Structure 1
């Protein structure tokens, strides 16, 4: 178990950029910041992941630049950027630019990619899962090197989030490069994955406590009230060390009832 007593609970919302007009997405972001969410994520895909496969959809990084101008407090990022879609040095420059537009509020979320339709329709080589992870491993040092070489460099410490739970490759990359690790694990799976991550951290001499543990959550529990969320979903993950909880919200209406419950729970846990 991780000693996370000094790290507060944070609540993120993933505003899925699908099945909505941009005006609806922009309004959802405004409401999320007004409600007090700590982080707003989108995702890096070219087509909807559910619902009408040919429904409305918008691109990730151009949207993040607009979000950076629209907001003043909330952190922003992709959950997660697909490494395959952009040259690593270009991605670093894009991230640095959005970081400056936002005043230092960007989280650089990245993963190896998985949605085959994106690759096929946009002309990217899908490869195997292992080769995509190898490409990510080669890209991360390039991203870090380019970030350090840019003029100006990022505003401050630009945190890197790596998504995925592969034990041999992904979690090793988390130990080597990430400030935040994101997964969709339940408590039983998270407990095991954290031990694997600790082994990778120990192997390179890095304190595991430097890595913020992020988990995707959804649903309001049986009764749809904040205590149920905390007791049935949040608290077991919290006890293992998770401190960033991400609530997905889909268009076109972007119902924030779940998000409000999680924000109430955050405030209770941090009191």
Structure 2
């Protein structure tokens, strides 16, 4: 099972904070560093303010050498797909081919209101067309052009440059919808992600995606299946309690919904996720100053997962 570190910088972080976590992620052997794509805090003052996801990842692309880098997930409301395709391809070049794109429809209306970003009521069609445009641009052979005529976007004879280093940048699609989201993942995604799902629902939700792949004529095993959950683990009960208090969460609630508790509990929870069909877990790290937390997971949890 792959373990990835997932951060929420809108809650309050500088680029240097994120760099320290990314370097620890690399040094400790984790697979990837991912970040959210948000501009407004979801509690607290958010100081010192937001950082832009793809600006951050561009910097980290030059200051790391091994780990994968990406978003979970970028919002289709934030950027025109042609611009996003250029940004992601450029960061892929800057990283030597280590970038992944998580893309979603956007959900945080207050964030859009605060920053004056349009928030259409119906966004699934926008997301679908963005996936068509982005993958179409990347997949256009050199020397050819890309055109697209949709309800939301229109491109005419686009040179479809620059090209990523990777032959195909992994695309992550996620969500809890019963029909349209699995179909979208089957059509466009390299990976399907379930964010913060109830543990007893994960197997059935992943099975819906596998069925959607079969219905679309795609091998269900060609998708990677992942989950994201908050991380809060202590070497003992006292340390767990300290970490829970530091992020303003109750221990019982964390144990119910997250990878939380003692090392043994964390290992058990991850093993249960694997039994549910999860191959990769994004560990949501809320205290970016607590690098000892990552060290504990790397030393005590990861080696027990096989």
TM norm. shorter chain > 0.5: yes
> What residue is the counterpart of 1:4 in the other structure?
none
Q: Which has the higher strand share?
A: 2
Structure 1 stretches lacking a partner, 5+ long: 1-8
> What residue is the counterpart of 2:106 in the other structure?
113
Q: 1:122 to 1:263 in 2, by over 3 A?
A: farther
| TM-score, structure 1 normalization | 0.88
Q: 1:51 to 1:259 in 2, by over 3 A?
A: farther
Verify: 1:228 aligned to 2:238, yes or no.
Answer: no
Verify: 1:166 aligned to 2:159, yes or no.
Answer: no
| TM-score, structure 2 normalization | 0.78
Q: 1:95 to 1:61 in 2, by over 3 A?
A: same
CA distance in 2, matches of 1:62, 1:94: 9
CA distance in 1, matches of 2:134, 2:120: 21
Verify: 1:203 aligned to 2:196, yes or no.
Answer: no
Deviation at residue 201 of structure 1 after TM alignment = 0.9
Deviation at residue 138 of structure 1 after TM alignment = 1.6
CA distance in 2, matches of 1:136, 1:256: 38
Deviation at residue 55 of structure 1 after TM alignment = 5.0
Tell me if structure 2 keeps the 8 A contact 1:119–1:125: yes
Report 1:1-271 matches (<5 A).
9-17=1-9, 18-53=11-46, 56-128=49-121, 131-149=122-140, 150-156=160-166, 157-183=168-194, 184-217=196-229, 218-220=231-233, 223=237, 224-231=261-268, 233-251=269-287, 253-257=289-293, 260-261=296-297, 264-270=300-306
Deviation at residue 111 of structure 1 after TM alignment = 0.6
Residues 225-253 of structure 1 deviation map (CA, whole Å, 9 limit, x = unaligned): 3332121x211110122111111123552
Let me know the Cα RMSD of the aligned residues: 2.1
CA distance in 2, matches of 1:252, 1:265: 19
Deviation at residue 152 of structure 1 after TM alignment = 4.6
Residue 84 of structure 1 aligns to a residue whose secondary structure is coil
CA distance in 2, matches of 1:137, 1:21: 32
Q: 1:132 to 1:56 in 2, by over 3 A?
A: same
**Structure 1: which 4+ aligned runs deviate by more than 6 Å?**
none
Tell me if structure 1 keeps the 8 A contact 2:14–2:48: no
Deviation at residue 93 of structure 1 after TM alignment = 1.1
Residues 115-141 of structure 1 deviation map (CA, whole Å, 9 limit, x = unaligned): 11221123222222xx11121012111
Larger radius of gyration: 2
Tell me if structure 2 keeps the 8 A contact 1:20–1:57: yes
Tell me if structure 2 keeps the 8 A contact 1:229–1:262: no
Structure 2 stretches lacking a partner, 5+ long: 141-159, 238-260
